[in-house]
Structure 1
Amino acid sequence: MDAEFEDVIANFPPLQFDDPAAQRASFAEMRRVVEPPRLPGSVEILVDQSARSADDHRVTSRIYLPADLSDRAPTLVWIHGGGYVVGTADEDDSYCARIASDLAIGVVSVDYRLAPEYPFPSGFEDCCAVTTAVAARTGAFSRLGEGKILIGGASAGAGLAAAVALRLRDSGLAVLSGQILLYPFIDSTLSSDSMRRYADAAIFNAHDAEVCWQHYLGERRSAPPTYASPSASTDLEGLPPAYVAAAGADCLHDEAVDYALRMRRAGISVELHSFPDVPHGFTGVAPRTSASTRALSDLFDAVRRLGGLREVSPKPLVSVSEE
């Protein structure tokens, strides 16, 4: 394990996904007693419920608008992580507001429905509905710039982002110019080598992965629908370019790398970074470490390039860096 993460992991509160409601309550209590992070004062946060899912559910989104947003600015649709069973959009307020402020772009964070109360496809349909509404600039989304649209997320959020990209491609809606996939949770079959190699990984392990997929897909997890488990897709042609980050000491490592390389073989422009000896969710659990700082800098560069902003540091199509 990266030395910078040893103390973080030793003191990290244990997570459990067998009872998502209990874990959500634990997160809520933690947030109640911890002082919230300071947000950039230049970013306005709106709450929108104009997007309607396939079952007519009103999907809540948080919209982050920097003061210097231009008419032609791109937009990042962001999807939070949490194994498809925990997490809320406002938990990523600090992260989304920083992206909006530092890059002068609009960011939309989706508060999708969670399993097991709402198994697949509820959360997926919510994310599709918001992305489509962003593209149409309906409701409060009309205040966003008219530039390119990116989609991204972390862990299960990255899985949902990849699934939305597949759905939009299949529907002939070429509205996305890029995917930002941080340590994606995308293979419900749990068949990768890293799932066995790091079965007892810190932060998120193989048991957690199995339980989360069971909540989300039930018995379908062994033969999943493509939009539930993007790794199941046999056709990756025509997807938007991607930035993919994999955590080296993560049970999900190999599914992230495999998906990135398969996209590349399908002719998609892909930038892949594998960060050695760091746990799942490393940019969130320890954002000030060297690996996290490097990953977030790379991510910001990728958003700039994929969003059509000034290119800061050109990257090769595929870069696997096991330093």
Structure 2
Amino acid sequence: MTTVLTATTAPTTRTARGPSGLLWSVLRLHRTALVLLVLVTTAATAVLVWMYAIGDEARRGMSACAEPVAVDGLPTCASVEAITADDTYRTFIALIAAVLSYAIFPVAAWAGGALIGRELESGTARLAWTQSVSPTRWLAAQLAVPALLLTAGTGAVALLNLWVRQDDPSLVGDWYYPDVFIATGPTVVAYPLAGLAVGALAGLLCRRALPAAGVGFAAALLLHNVLERTRDDLSPTVTRVEEGGLELPRSAWQMRWEGETRATFHPESHFWPLQYAETGILLAVAAAATLAAFAILRRRTP
């Protein structure tokens, strides 16, 4: 009689305990938002490449002209007026600037409603906490993944925007215009990050998707408006006094004009000091909101 011994091996299981598994689960759970971000970034890139292609023609549409016939190397005014590329260029460059400038609002509403509020309301977050994922790691992953994607997406579009834009303010707007200011400096990345943080804080405070989305949006709106109204105070202004009349450069951001001899303004060289100051405020807000979110989470979970 022969006895056959059969060796059995325990089935191997894979657990998503490592950071890669947790980060992948965040991407999969919020794939709709990821797809939307990719589509918006792709569309913005395509538009900016198109604007670069028509840039020379757009500048010709703003050139000096002669009437009724060409003279001294100047084209006729009729031929200049027939060019429509400048209107197209101006419209789409302004659209890209507006998208970058107001990205904080959908980000804050999404972070409060879908990213955090819905997860707490539906119990998905608590389920994750029972599967060897601590609340702190869960929140860190929830914030880290969109923060990286937002930084990469807005940063790439902003750099392409700077490459495409021309120096003529009649086509793209002066540097101190609100949308232009945000879309052409590091604030373009800092605003969405601040929106993400305040939205996440709203989600943890409200713990319900719809109220959290509303509170996140309102907080972002307040932050955006306060900074826009106080932007000129973030760096000392310049005061110029000239007897016999005063004329400021076109690029100057005029604050006050007293009589005909005294003006207070920001020269174009103040662009970077103002950018750094506003970016610092936004990152400080983002850091404070993030710390508050972790503190609230620790207080409400074992």
Shorter-chain TM-score: which interval? under 0.3
Greater relative contact order (Cα 8 A, min sep 6): structure 1 or 2?
2
TM-score in terms of structure 2 length: 0.25
> Which structure has greater helix proportion?
2
| Larger relative strand fraction | 1
Q: TM-score, normalised by structure 1?
A: 0.24
Larger Cα-atom Rg: 2
